[in-house]
Amino acid sequence: NADVLLVHARSQEDAFMKDGHGTRREDVMYNDFVIVGPEADPAGIMGMTSAVDALKKLAEAGQAGQASFISRGDKSGTHTKELAIWKSAEITPEGAWYVSAGQGMGEVLTMANEQQAYTLSDRATYLARTKNGLELKVVVEKDKTLLNPYGVITVNPDKGPQINSELATQFVDWLISVPVQEKIAEFGKADFGQSLFVPDSTPWKAK
């Protein structure tokens, strides 16, 4: 159904390419994930530097009825990252404290805000939502585990006659070009005082 994909779940991207579904993958940009939660921080994880250790402590608080976590539960890149952290923590999150919403990031942040729960968010969506009254605070950040790289993939035209490989290639070339990467570097600064993404394409790094 698509000619080109902008994605952020590297293990799935690599599998997609290995299985022959894509013909070209390029790095585009990155930002990071953050664990956000209520200012009261009932799980006591504010300022922790390890996302894995933070989720272990959060799970303990959840099982004790002191905290809750809302997962996107939608097989998105964010959900994939969340599950990978739980796996590293050797925890299978389940029980009343763990809610699988099956919703997008914005909706999950709203739910977490209303229920004073924790969740994992990409920083860009979190910052955007703070402009709309979101009161959740960043409680865990800047762990290398939380890096969020974005890539772009052209879909293999052999998968169907409807796939426009030529335009897909043009789009990728445009997205990774230095002028567009410069726009990515500036995106968000006017509103948030910081860029929401860091450019990361091969032409950008070679300039």
SS3 189: helix
Average pLDDT over residues 57-84: 96
Asked if residue 89 has pLDDT above 90, the reply is yes
- For position 60, what pLDDT does the model report? 98
Say if residues 152 and 5 touch (Cβ distance below 8 Å).
yes
In the prediction, which pLDDT does 1 show? 87
Query: H or E segment at 166?
Result: helix 165-176
Contact between 197 and 187 (Cβ < 8 Å)? yes
Q: Could you give the CA distance from residue 84 to residue 144 in angstroms, rounded to a whole number? A: 13
Angle at 115 between CA 112 and CA 116, to 5 degrees: 75
Distance, CA of 30 to CA of 199 (rounded, Å): 7
**Percent of the chain predicted with pLDDT > 70:** 100
Q: CA dist 104 to 56, 74, 108, 190, Å?
A: 24, 7, 6, 25
Tell me the pLDDT band of 99, cut-offs 50, 70 and 90: very high
- Whole-structure pTM value: 0.85
Encode pLDDT of 32-63 as tens digits.
999 999 999 999 999 999 999 999 999 999 99
Chain-centroid distance, C-alpha 35: 11
pLDDT digits (tens, 9 = 90+) for 114-166: 999 999 999 999 999 999 999 999 999 999 999 999 999 999 999 999 999 99
Span 20-38, mean pLDDT? 97
- Residue 86 phi, psi dihedral angles, 5° rounding: -60, -40
**3-class state of residue 169 by DSSP:** helix
> How would you class 114 by CB atoms within 10 Å of its CB: exposed for 0-12, middle for 13-18, buried for 19 or more?
exposed
What mean pLDDT is reported for the chain? 96
Q: What is the C-alpha to C-alpha distance for residues 101 and 70, in angstroms, rounded to an integer?
A: 7
